[in-house]
Amino acid sequence: MNKIIFLPPAKNYLKKLNDKNLKKLFEDAINKISENPQIGQIKTGD
């Protein structure tokens, strides 16, 4: 598993979240991505 380093703006955003469920969803998604960066759909366009 890779070490996750949050930049200060991201730290502040997560710290200020009042919705516990949303904060948990963010944490779960970040952990899943850190375990397997290949999950999800490839973004195209933009």
The pTM of the full predicted model, rounded to 2 decimals, is 0.69
pLDDT digits (tens, 9 = 90+) for 3-42: 888 899 998 998 898 999 999 999 899 889 889 888 888 8
Tell me the CA distances in angstroms from 22 to 2, 32, 33, 44, one per residue in order: 23, 15, 17, 26
> How many whole angstroms from its chain centre is CA 17?
13
Instruction: For residue 11, give its domain range.
Output: 1-31
The pLDDT, as a whole number, for residue 1 is 65
Q: Do the domain assignments include residue 38? A: no
Residue 12 forms part of a structural domain: yes
Nearest CA among 31, 28, 38, 25 for reference residue 2: 31
Indicate whether 16 belongs to any domain.
yes
The residues, any chain, with a CB within 8 Å of residue 4's CB and separated by 6 or more, are 30, 34
Residue 1 belongs to a domain: yes
Q: Which two tokens mark 42? A: 């490839």
What is the predicted pLDDT for the residue at 24? 92
Q: How many domains does the chain have?
A: 1
